[in-house]
Amino acid sequence: MADALDREEQAALMDREIYELALQQPDGLDADFLKVALPNYPLEVAVNGVNRLLKAGRLELMQVGTRILYRGVHAGEFERMAGLTGDERLVYKHIENSGNEGIWVRTLKQKTNLLQGVITRCLKGLEQKALIKSIKSVKHPTRKLYMMIDISPSSDITGGPWYTDQEMDTDFIEQLASQCYKFIYLQSYPRAMPRGVYSANHMAYPKSSVVHRHISTNGISTVALSVEHIEELLTMLVYDGKIERIAPAFEVDMGRGGGQSLGTKPKTDWMYRALRVSNMDSPFTDIPCGRCPVYDQCGDTGAITPAKCDPGFANHMRAPRVLLALTAVLALANAANLPVVQPDWVVIPTKLWPGRPPKPSPDAPDGGDKEKVTPKPPKPSPPPAEVTTPPPPPPPPPPPPPPSPSPTPPTPPPPPPPTPPPQPVPSDNPIAPPQPPPLVPNSSPTSTPIGNGGNPAKPSSNAIDNNINSNPNGGSPPASTPSDAGPNNDNNNNNADGDTENTGSATGVNNISGTNSVTDKLPKPTSSLQSKPGNSGSNALDEPSSNKSQSSKLSSGAIGGIVVGLILILAAAVLAFLWSRNKRNRRLYNANDFEEFKGFSPDSHTNLIAATTIAGYGGNNRQSDYVRDSRGYPSSDMSEYNEPAAPPNARVANGSSGRIHSDISFRHLDEY
């Protein structure tokens, strides 16, 4: 027993010695090393100890070439690996060996010869134990790389300082490049001579190391940058044409190229000089063709020609004009009290769209009733609760409307309206207007004489006038009187005070369409009011709940009004656009209006041409008279073809006297 204990103690002692030896040799040790290091033990005993340690996971087997080496596993590593399965350990080892470059799953599969499912399970387990992490490479954004959790990925993986969240940070690059350019520019030219240059032997131009020092010491970048990064920036600036490289006087090996093989050329430490980029404009800057998006389609015929060129149209003309047209239509709609503008109290009868049932209102006494689906005269809207403005004078009594021949309306045409009162009715008269006949505007031949009050020539103006008068109501439902329901209420301005349904929809339609759909403006018969007592009466409308009920009941009509209004606005906008475009085209050919269109005026595109422009070409520091006239001479008779030109071999003087301009003379030579 004691021998057995001694043997165990000896074995444990030997194991400890072997383990410590292995820890001291990070590259591993082999059997020969053990034989030398442990001379007191026979090799068989040492091998048994190694086997025990391998089994316990304290040693690792490594194969370097043909040699078998043993590497000691540190305590921390041993603890981490303790709970791993064999597959997980294998995967973990490969991931660990990949270092800061990471390893792709497919590579892992090739190296471990494990199944994809096994590898996935292992990776999941390792990730749950917070041993590894997954990253994405900027080079291969679709690949998922795995590496140890405590290792930072290499710059090849992250992209270096130029990448933020796996994307190139172009703003950062541009800002940094701009700072570099400014720094180099300041040192590229003598400050005492604004237009001077340094001599050819000047060696104080900044180098990349100097620029790097400037960037790092001034805290321009919070990201740590190396000289190589700065050189990348400077190379970009060279290709931007902002700076140029100057070879140094001596090819100095700055230590960056010396670590390579002997045959390698040492890296040149360039100097950089900023270029004066004062004249970077192209001749195409003078004309709109330089940046014209339809330049390739431009020709002498067709829709896109230089004669029709209007580069300012898109920027200056189109948007304001469309906007103006829309504004005008909206103003018109506002003036006409279209439901688009005031949908709370402007309601278009649902019968305008016969197939569409009115939306049931919970507050309505017959809300949700199936009878509502059937074509019926819509419910009259409640009268306004309070009117602060006096009503307009009453219209003259209109003639009774003729019977409508249209078979479509489900309800008979309204009865002749009562005679309107001769004086304005007080606004607090709470009488709900009658429901108009459910006819589509403009469809009733009888409506025209009625609505116009015998004056079909002025349908819109009356309506607009009425609505203008109604605007001071501030959008509140205007009051109405029974006399407002007269057939010629257009002439009496009682639309502003009368029926809300009629006022909104019918007036709006009439105004836009320019026709007389007076059917909507017809006053509602009293019978209809009587048939719906719940919806009429000022007492009911004075209550907030009644108002709420009113607005909710009107919502279906309001929606219809909005749709009609939108359609009309759209049509008006299109018409306004076409009209303005037509007008523009006409103006384009009108020479007197040319001043208005700076966009395609040549003045707008030749502002860079100074008086000395030709100095850049002709060499003369002034603009010659002959350059202004590109041909250099006046129009010859050849362009008119009134007389033939001289034959090639004839003496031109015989026939050329008429083609010499009068200002070409040699008279001034007389002064010699």
Partner 1 sequence: MYTQQVGLCKQIVREHYGPIVETVVAVLLREGRLHLGQLARRTKLTGPNIRRALAVLIQHGIATHAMSKDGSRMFTYYSVSLKSILRLQRAGLYLALVEERMGSEGLAIFRTIMVNGLTTIGSVREALSVAEMGNAAKIKFNSVVAKLVRDRYIIAVNPQDTITKVDRIMQEEAVEVEKLTIPPTAKELLAIRRKIIEREEEEYQSSNVVGIKRRASVDISADHSSKLHMGADGRANGFNSYDSGDQNGYSHLNNGHQQQQQVDAVDDKQFFRAYYDRLDVFLRNQQIVNYFTDKYNAGAGALVKSILRVTEQHTRTCRVKLSETVSATQVFQHISAEAPLIDSIDTSKDMFHQKFDANGNPIVDTSSGTELSREKRSEIIFALLEVIHTDSSGIVIKVDERGTGQYRVNFERAAITLRDRCVDALVHEKFGSVHARLLRVLRDKQKLDEKVVAQATMLPIDSCRTRLHDLALAGMIDTVEIPRSADRNPSRMFYLWYVNADKQMRSAMRFVYQGMSNIIERNTKEVSARALLIAKTKREDVILDPGLLTDGERKELQNLARIKQRLTVANVRLDSMLLVIYDIDPLSADHQLLQ
Under 8 Å CB-to-CB from 135, ≥6 apart: which residues? 102, 144, 145, 146, 147, 153, 157
Instruction: Tell me if 295 contacts partner 1 by CB under 8 A.
Output: yes
SS3 assignment, position 609: coil
CB 528 within 8 A of CB 377: yes
Helix (H) or strand (E) holding 449: helix 447-452
Q: How many residues bind partner 1 (CB under 8 A)?
A: 106
Residue 648 touching partner 1 (CB under 8 A): yes
CA distance 672 to 670: 5
All residues at 6 or more sequence positions from 357 whose CB lies less than 8 Å from its CB, including other chains:
350, 372, 373
Task: Please choose, out of 142-150, 163-171, 515-523, 558-566, the segment that lies near partner 1 by the rule CB under 8 A.
Answer: 163-171
- Between 64 and 280, whose beta carbon lies closer to partner 1? 280
Cβ proximity to partner 1, 283 vs 403, nearer residue: 283
Write down the least CB distance from residue 25 to partner 1, Å. 42
Question: Which residue from 39, 263, 355, 647 is in contact with partner 1, where contact means CB under 8 A?
Answer: 647
User: Which residues 6+ apart lie within 8 Å of 466 measured at CB?
Assistant: 392, 490, 493, 494, 495, 496, 503, 507
Stretch that binds partner 1, among 235-243, 353-361, 415-423, 426-434 (CB under 8 A): 235-243
Out of 198, 552, 577, 584, the only residue in the binding site for partner 1 (CB under 8 A) is 198
358 neighbors 555 (Cβ within 8 angstroms): no
Asked if 52 and 7 touch (Cβ cutoff 8 Å), the reply is: no
Binding residue (CB under 8 A) for partner 1 from 1, 5, 82, 192: 192
107 touching partner 1, by CB under 8 A: no
Q: Which parts of 377-430 are beta strand (E)?
A: none
Is residue 459 within 8 A of residue 516, CB to CB? The reply is yes
Distance of CA 558 to the CA centre of its chain: 33
DSSP per position, 454-522: T-TT-HHHHHHHHHHHHGGGTTSPPPB-GGGG-TTTTTTTTTTTS-HHIIIIIHHHHHHH-S--TTTTS
Q: Contact 330/341 with Cβ under 8 angstroms?
A: yes
**Cβ contact 211:180 at 8 Å:** yes
Query: Which residues is 70 bridged to in the sheet?
Result: 29, 61
* Residues from 567 through 626 that contact partner 1 (CB under 8 A): 589-592, 594-595, 601-603, 605-606, 609, 613-614, 616-620, 624, 626
One of 261, 530, 657, 662 touching partner 1 (CB under 8 A): 657
Binding span for partner 1 by CB under 8 A among 19-27, 95-103, 563-571, 660-668: 660-668
User: Among 279, 374, 530, 662, which residue sits at the site for partner 1 (rule: CB under 8 A)?
Assistant: 279
- Candidate residues 261, 282, 374, 545; the one interacting with partner 1 per rule CB under 8 A: 282
- The residue range among 22-30, 161-169, 384-392, 547-555 that interacts with partner 1, by the rule CB under 8 A, is 161-169
Say whether residue 186 binds partner 1 (CB under 8 A): no
Q: Please identify, using beta-carbon distances, which residue of 405 and 658 lies nearer to partner 1.
A: 658
640 scored as a contact of partner 1 (CB under 8 A): yes
Q: How far is the CB of 552 from partner 1 (least distance, A)?
A: 53
By CB under 8 A, the residues from 201 to 220 that bind partner 1 are 201-202, 204
CB of 152 to partner 1, least distance (A): 22
Give min distance, CB of 580 to partner 1, in A.
21
136 is an interface residue for partner 1 by CB under 8 A? no
Nearest-approach distance from CB 39 to partner 1, in angstroms: 59
Min CB(512)–partner 1 separation in Å: 38
| CB neighbour list of residue 662: distance below 8 Å, 6 or more residues apart | none
